Every structure is written in C-alpha cells, then in structure tokens.
Amino acid sequence: MSEKPKGLDEWQQMFDTIYCERNEKRNKESILLRLVEEISEVSEALREENFTLGQVARALNKSIDEVKKDHEKIRVLEWELPDLLAWLGAFATCVNHKLEQDVWHKYPGICPYCLENNNCLCIAKSPNEKPQKEALEKRLDSARKNGKVPKSLLEWQKLLDSLYKKINRVQEEEVIGFHMQEELGELSRELRKRTEMATTFSDDDLSSEIADVFSWTIALASRMELNLEKITWRKYRRVCPYCGRPVCREGPTQ
C-alpha cells in the first residue's frame, strides 16, 4: 500500500516524481498557464452554480453533509482542487522553490498583515490599525524561528482555517474564487518581473505570491467543507490519475 505524503515537501516531491518526465520539458510560463487553466475550471464550477450549500440545504430541509453527496459543484471541486495543488507544486519546483518553505515564511502561524493568530479580521481594518512594517517583520521572524511547521496537508488546512475561518465563512465561494484569480495574476506579474528585470527582482515577492495562491486554495476547500488532504490523496495515490502510471507519460490533461 502506498504511503500518503506528510508535509508539503513530501506532497511536492510526490507530484514531481509522477510528472518529472513531462514537466522537465515545460518552461515556467507553460506551467503557469496550466495553473491559469486549473483556476479557470474552479471558477467555472463556482459560476455555474452560484448558490451556496447552505441555501440549498435550507431549501431542501437537509443537512449540508446530505447536500454535499449530490452537489455537482462539490464533485467538480473535489476533482479540480487537487490538480490545482499539483500544478502549484510543479511551478514551485520549476522556479527552484520549496512550497513548504514559501508558505511557512508567509504564514508562520500568524497573519502576516496584523499578527493575529486566530480569527483574523484585518481585511476589515484600516491601514492605521495594522502594525508598522518593522514590528511586523520582527514578530514574523520570531514566529518563523519558534513556531511549529505543520506536519501534514491537513494540519496546514487547520492552521490557515484558524487564522481566517471567520472571514472566509462570511465570504461567498465566488469571492474566494476571485481572490484566487487575483493572486494568480500577482504571481504572473512576479514571474514577468523575474524575466524582464532580473537585476532588481526580489525572489521574496515570488515566494509570497506562491504562498498566497496556496492559502486561497485552502480557503476555498475549507469554505466548501472539503478536506484537501483527503481529496488529493484519493486522486493522487503516487500515480497519475489519468494514465495510472507512477511516472506519467500520457496523462490527457497533464
């Protein structure tokens, strides 16, 4: 029986092993375009059924768990979100980044904008209410050194959910999808800067945007009450889900 990956480095390595032969032929821009494609498919699922599970459950007088079993939006996201994670890992590898390192640097158990460690609401605060840059960096550095890095994808989901659960629960799924697209656009900008302005480019900015795409992927999974680790392992059990091989050679969408 295949052993499930633990930390983000192991998940990234699993995807690299499956798709190494195919992805080594792709450049950074090609892999980024696959990320665009995956987020577009997620957005399509959110747009086509623009109502929440809560609304459906109330209308049918059922629990959310009962509704989820037959909800097309959920089935699509259970299939697409793991692909999004796989391509984000592929992009990180292509630019010589470690996904876990990037995410922990940005989200070391506290919000990087207001330093709250639970139920952050800084999105609703004015800039004057947030800590100054020097105080932010000092506290973030301390959290990175002294905090405990999550040991599994599920632990990462729980950590980010504890930071942003309150605000994400009141945002519609479509809004979270917009945030994902926004972060992908910012990731694209940083990659362009890396290509066009190599002498002034900051790799920290690219790291930050990779972490943000991951964070909003987690946010959408949590908003839809999906266990990202569970659905990703169900799809990718150390083999390509399209061709069934441990090293993919002909996956139709890969």
pLDDT in tens, 148-180: 999 999 999 999 999 998 888 888 888 898 899
Instruction: Decide if 39 is inside a domain.
Output: yes
Instruction: Decide if 244 is inside a domain.
Output: no
**What is the distance between the alpha carbons of residues 67 and 74, in angstroms, rounded to a whole number?**
9
Instruction: Decide if 243 is inside a domain.
Output: no
Instruction: Decide if 133 is inside a domain.
Output: no
Instruction: Decide if 140 is inside a domain.
Output: no
Instruction: Decide if 23 is inside a domain.
Output: yes
Q: pTM of the predicted model, to two decimals?
A: 0.86
Instruction: Decide if 176 is inside a domain.
Output: yes
What is the percent of the chain where pLDDT is above 90? 54
pLDDT in tens, 25-36: 899 999 999 999
Instruction: Supply the mean pLDDT for the chain.
Output: 85
Q: What's the structural domain count of the chain?
A: 1
**What is the distance between the alpha carbons of residues 32 and 92, in angstroms, rounded to a whole number?**
10
Decide if 31 contacts 87 (C-beta within 8 A). Answer: yes
Task: Give 197's pLDDT tier (boundaries 50, 70, 90).
Answer: confident
Task: Give 204's pLDDT tier (boundaries 50, 70, 90).
Answer: confident
Instruction: Kindly calculate the radius of gyration of the chain based on its CA atoms and give it in whole angstroms.
Output: 18
Return the amino acid letter for 99.
Answer: L
The predicted pLDDT at position 252 comes to 47
The predicted pLDDT at position 253 comes to 47
Instruction: Decide if 1 is inside a domain.
Output: no
pLDDT in tens, 223-246: 888 999 999 999 999 999 988 999
User: Is the pLDDT confidence value at 68 over 70?
Assistant: no
Q: Which residues contact 96 (CB under 8 A, 6 or more apart)?
A: none
Provide the residue range defining the domain that includes 170. Answer: 8-124+152-235
